[in-house]
A and B are shown apart, each in its own frame.
Chain A
Amino acid sequence: AAGVIQSPRHLIKEKRETATLKCYPIPRHDTVYWYQQGPGQDPQFLISFYEKMQSDKGSIPDRFSAQQFSDYHSELNMSSLELGDSALYFCASRPSLGTPHEQYFGPGTRLTVT
Chain B
Amino acid sequence: AQKITQTQPGMFVQEKEAVTLDCTYDTSDPSYGLFWYKQPSSGEMIFLIYQGSYDQQNATEGRYSLNFQKARKSANLVISASQLGDSAMYFCAMREGPGSSASKIIFGSGTRLSIRP
Contact = CB atoms under 8 A, between A and B. Distances in A.
Nearest to A47: B104
A56 B110 contact: no
A108 B44 contact: yes
Interface string B28-48: 000001010100000111110
Contact of B99 (A31, A99, A107, A110): A99
Interface string A70-114: 000000000000000000101010101111111111011010000
Of B35, B99, B110, most A-chain CB atoms within 10 Å: B99
A24 interface: no
Interface residues of B, number: 23
Contact of B108 (A42, A44, A99, A100): A42
Interface in B56-98: 91, 95
Interface residues of A, number: 29
A64 interface: no
Contacts of A96: 100, 102
B95 A101 contact: yes
B105 interface: yes
A109 B43 CA distance: 10
Nearest to B108: A42
Given A94-B102, A108-B44, 19 more contacts: A31-B102, A33-B104, A33-B105, A41-B109, A42-B110, A43-B45, A43-B91, A44-B107, A45-B105, A48-B104, A55-B102, A96-B102, A99-B99, A100-B50, A101-B52, A101-B99, A102-B35, A105-B45, A105-B46
Interface of B: 33, 35, 37, 43-47, 50, 52, 91, 95, 99-100, 102-110
26 contacts: A31-B102, A33-B104, A33-B105, A41-B109, A42-B107, A42-B109, A42-B110, A44-B107, A45-B106, A48-B102, A48-B104, A50-B102, A58-B104, A97-B100, A99-B99, A100-B50, A101-B95, A102-B33, A102-B47, A103-B35, A103-B105, A105-B44, A107-B44, A108-B43, A108-B45, A110-B43
